[in-house]
Amino acid sequence: MNIREATSADWDQIWPIFQEVVSAGETYAYEPDTSKEQAEKIWMHAPRKTYVFEDNGQILGTYYLKTNQAGPGNHVCNCGYMVSSLARGKGLATLMCEHSQQVAIELSYKAIQFNFVASSNEGAVYLWNKLGFETVGRLPKAFKHPTQGYVDALVMYKWLDKA
Amino acid sequence: MNIREATSADWDQIWPIFQEVVSAGETYAYEPDTSKEQAEKIWMHAPRKTYVFEDNGQILGTYYLKTNQAGPGNHVCNCGYMVSSLARGKGLATLMCEHSQQVAIELSYKAIQFNFVASSNEGAVYLWNKLGFETVGRLPKAFKHPTQGYVDALVMYKWLDKA
């Protein structure tokens, strides 16, 4: 088991995870029918860093890290995590989130912000809370869930700087 | 006095307003030294719509409107407004904000979200509140003000749908 930076050769293994998560439409603010090419731009090129969680050559999880706002906001980064349905409930999201906090500190970011956590995604909200992220915002009916309709989206935030 | 969609010919008059606002580093999450070419992409091309406030052929204000989040979040838009220092305190921001709410409704958006309002920008916070925007989030120390240091940034939100 290993978390390492993604290379372009990893994309064929990352794409099924991206597609599975995004086509469900329950967690990420991407178009559910995002094409493989668009997804590669979104996940591999637009972020500052992309990582994979690998086990015996098989990619089971992935995350990106990017600067959340430019200029006066560029000390805060944003991350997104995806885990394959083959590997849910094994703590991969926790390991990747802890890894991303380390990377963020190394890159001199002072905080991580999640901009758009569907409040219906209770597992994620619980996990991010446990990992020290605070709910600092609630966007009324900002997320259209495929079965639950309009639900609130949460903004979650963790200050990393110990000083 | 007239608010109308911007054309590419307007950019030479919009740019000094953008530069004045952004180089101050007090309100917008853009790099203070954003070049004219980068600014044109940000303000004229990336948004879904860009408008100008014109008075006798002179552009005194401008705003953009874009979809804030894709997929399950694409019923909420985001706007940004800028007023020339030559025309501050004359109600232009109010007129542009009211105009943008009309445009948002015509384009079938259900809400407008401001992602990153510097809490130090008290005039803006007061104005958006007066125009019906609620503070739904507070991002601790997310905005680095050039003289005040790290200040909170606010997330402000207005649901437009009357139904």
Q: What is the pLDDT of residues A92-111, one digit of tens each?
A: 999 999 999 999 999 999 99
Give kind and range of the element (H or E) at residue B76: strand B76-83
User: Cα(first)–Cα(last) distance of chain B, in Å?
Assistant: 32
d(CA A151, CA A124): 15
Q: Does the pLDDT value for residue A163 go beyond 60?
A: no
Give kind and range of the element (H or E) at residue A82: strand A76-83
How close B116 comes to chain A (CA, Å)? 9
Q: What is the mean pLDDT of residues A114-126?
A: 97
Per-residue pLDDT of chain B (163 residues; tens, 9 = 90+): 799 999 999 999 999 999 999 999 999 999 999 999 999 999 999 999 999 999 999 999 999 999 999 999 999 999 999 999 999 889 999 999 999 999 999 999 999 999 999 999 999 999 999 999 999 999 999 999 999 999 999 999 999 976 5
Please give the structure tokens belonging to residue A70.
């430019």
Query: What's the CA angle centered on A3, arms A30 and A153, to 5 degrees?
Result: 30
By Cβ distance, the residue of A28, A74, A136 closest to B71 is A28
Give kind and range of the element (H or E) at residue B150: strand B149-159
Contacts of B140 in chain A (CB under 8 A): 111, 136, 157, 159
Q: Does the pLDDT value for residue A137 go beyond 60?
A: yes
d(CA B23, CA A71): 10
Q: Which pLDDT does position A19 carry in this prediction?
A: 98
Please give the structure tokens belonging to residue A6.
């993604």
User: Cβ contact (<8 Å) for B139 and A76?
Assistant: yes
Give kind and range of the element (H or E) at residue B11: helix B11-24
A159, A111 contact by CB (below 8 A): yes
Contacts of B159 in chain A (CB under 8 A): 140-141
d(CA B113, CA B134): 10
Q: What is the mean pLDDT of chain A?
A: 96
Collapsing DSSP to helix, strand or coil, B135 comes out as strand
User: Cβ contact (<8 Å) for B113 and A25?
Assistant: no
Q: What is the pLDDT of residues A18-28, one digit of tens each?
A: 999 999 999 99
Q: Which pLDDT does position B143 carry in this prediction?
A: 98
Contacts of B34 in chain A (CB under 8 A): 71
Please give the structure tokens belonging to residue B126.
């007061």
Q: What is the CB neighbour count within 10 angstroms for residue B103?
A: 19
By Cβ distance, the residue of A31, A70, A118 closest to B30 is A70
What pTM, to 2 d.p., does this model score?
0.95
Query: What's the CA angle centered on B45, arms B5 and B59, to 5 degrees?
Result: 40
User: Cβ contact (<8 Å) for B157 and A140?
Assistant: yes
Q: What is the mean pLDDT of residues A147-154?
A: 98
Q: What is the pLDDT of residues A36-82, one digit of tens each?
A: 999 999 999 999 999 999 999 999 999 999 999 999 999 999 999 99
DSSP B68: S
User: Cα(first)–Cα(last) distance of chain A, in Å?
Assistant: 32
Q: Which pLDDT does position A1 carry in this prediction?
A: 74
User: Cβ contact (<8 Å) for B139 and A143?
Assistant: no
Q: What is the mean pLDDT of residues A124-141?
A: 98
> In chain A, count of helices (H) and strands (E)?
4, 7
Q: Which pLDDT does position B161 carry in this prediction?
A: 74
